[in-house]
A and B are shown apart, each in its own frame.
Chain A
Amino acid sequence: MLLSYLKIAWKVLMRRKFFTFINLFGVSFTLMILLVVMAMFDQLTGNHAPEKRNDRMLFISRITEKMRGEDGWMMNPVSSYFTDTYVRPMHTPALVGLTSIVSNATAFTSNKLLPLDVRYTDGNFWQIMEFDFRSGRGLTGAEVKQAAPVCVLNEATALTYFGTTTDVVGREIEIDLKRYRVAGVVANVAAAHLFSYADVWLPCTLSKDYGGAGRLEGSFIPILLAPSAGQVQAVRDEYQQVMARVPISDPKHITNLYSNADPIMASISRELMPMKHGLDGDGLAQFYLICTALALLFMLLPALNLVNLNVTRILERSAEIGVRKAFGATGTHLVSQFLVENVVLAVVGGLLGLGLAAGALALVNESHVLAYANFALSGSVFGWALVLALAFGLMSGVYPAWKMSRLNPVAALRGSGEQK
């Protein structure tokens, strides 16, 4: 029976080519956009190099100070002093690493100016992240401690500065008029990796913001590696206990301090959701809810359009429905038949959407809108594409199918759309 349904589905789709085109365009275009967003999301939050342990990593991306007497908030990254005093002594993390926010620097090649994004890190950072080394190694704890003038470059910078990516280790590069010895070269890291991306990585001890005794705010982001994914919550909890002990440096002006050790998604949702200063959670659930609602709404509009087209199409086929009913088809048979037709259409649309999304991502990667972007359609995105296509097929097919099954067979045979 399924084969017969598929056969007729294919015939119907081929017979009404314009209708099929409109349908496919609606489905594939919508899915393309959703898949592109998902691929970006996957790149941002999935376990991709160098953030391969995203499921165990927690980021302290800021500390928030509530100002007295007004509704003001001060939000800043933390200082290295704060990290050394309060974060590194924590018991639950397996490792505590440090990275700065990205700052700008300039190098000069023989004939041009080379703008660079620089990140200052400690030695643990290189143990927590899993960079794809082309040659050499990351920064060591000893180098960082000694404030040694060493650096790690990405491939693109090595190639532009030295004209090659091999035999670069041990050579010197001049950045902002200071010379650094190259310790290693890593594969380019996309800017979507918020906490690891850079062109050049330098020891944090060389940062002008390093130290800052007594100050809580600075330009650093501690990264905590939980011993296992299951212990992430324990680390978050311990950090909350630590925060409760952090004294307010300026009680005259500041009433409260908030800071959270968040997994990657929660750190993003906390940024995006309004006023989530640790008072009422990280906003992750609401963030997911809003994203899902937006995706559904986005799919709903073309789905409603499809519903409309489908209802019209059913009326065109009322004689067929009448015949099928006369020969013993039940409402369930007709609903299944119509859903199969619609799901076939949606899956074809989904595959087209997948192709379009791959093209769109290739364009984004090529366009250099985002540095070193390497968005790709992973297996999970492909799986989502199928799920979305099925959801689309069902969303746009259920109502027309139900309407179809309710047609009065006598009226259907006469060719009118009268309902039972």
Chain B
Amino acid sequence: MENLLANSSEPRTQPVALHGAVLRLTDIEKVYQTKTIETVALNRVNLTINRGEFVSIMGPSGCGKSTLLSLMGLLDEPTSGVIEVDGRAVTSFSDRELAGLRNLKIGFVFQSYHLINDLSVVDNVEVPLLYRPGMGSKERRKRAVDALDKVGLSARTGHFPSQLSGGQRQRVAIARALAGGPEIILADEPTGNLDSVMGEEIMGLLLDLNRQEGVTVVMVTHDEHQALKTERVIRFFDGSQVG
């Protein structure tokens, strides 16, 4: 398996393919309601993410970026509006169907990695494959090792998260997101906890994944510099798309 890190410094090429919308959000509203107060987190958002795109979402804290990412990742339900994945509206999907869809189509990368400390690196990467019906342990292990190979950590399979640096942990998290062969990777400030050198390394990895594997990437970031490396920047302010 090709090591993507090795190519991260090369000039960018065009995305592999653009075959229509992989994610479409129509008239999405998300309102958080307590007894006394109603907070509009997202206000009539219309957004299409095309297959093979690398999109970054920017905006100040509290503008609804992470809420948007949760909705795109089918981790949360909108108050109103329609989310379509591969052209299918998921509004009426049961929890079980949503879980299945997440497992097959979506990989997550979090700012604070969220690795399971009790599991070794390779066991962490296997987590999405545990929920893949009918997949045996050998196949899981092979895919996990392949994914770790892609992020340049195949030598660390037996390590535990506590034995790795921040950058390495995020690479494990990316390998985990990749292991299930998702169409979309949703990254919530993936470089937010890293210094600039490691941040560049992770960004390069995501760019290469997008470019070479054709994986659609949606990244929430505060970092203008990183955002500008992506094909499209969507800006949010107070729950609304402003650019």
Q: Which residues of A contact B (CB under 8 A)?
A: 1, 3-4, 7-8, 11-12, 15, 319-320, 322-333, 408-410, 413
Contact = CB atoms under 8 A, between A and B. Distances in A.
Contact of A326 (B75, B126, B132): B75
A325 to B, nearest CB: 7
B180 interface: yes
B118 A324 contact: no
B228 interface: no
B116 interface: yes
Interface in B92-137: 95-96, 99-100, 102-104, 107-108, 110, 114, 116, 118-119, 123, 126-128, 130-132, 137
A322 B99 CA distance: 12
Contacts of B108: 323, 326-327
Nearest to B177: A327
19 contacts: A4-B130, A11-B118, A323-B127, A324-B131, A325-B75, A326-B108, A327-B102, A327-B127, A327-B131, A328-B103, A330-B95, A330-B99, A332-B96, A333-B130, A333-B131, A409-B75, A410-B75, A410-B76, A413-B75
Given A8-B119, A408-B76, 6 more contacts: A4-B130, A320-B116, A324-B131, A329-B131, A331-B96, A413-B75
Contacts of B104: 328
Closest 5 CB pairs of A and B: A328-B103, A11-B118, A327-B128, A328-B131, A330-B99
Nearest to A323: B114
Contact of A413 (B110, B123, B128, B132): B110
B137 A328 contact: no
A329 B99 contact: yes
A413 B114 contact: yes
A4 B123 contact: yes
A276 to B, nearest CB: 53
B118 A319 contact: no
B119 A325 contact: no
A328 B100 contact: yes
Interface in B57-108: 70, 73, 75-76, 95-96, 99-100, 102-104, 107-108
Contacts of A322: 114
A328 B128 contact: yes
A3 B137 contact: yes
Nearest to B131: A328
Contact of A327 (B76, B96, B123, B176): B176
Contacts of A413: 75, 110, 114
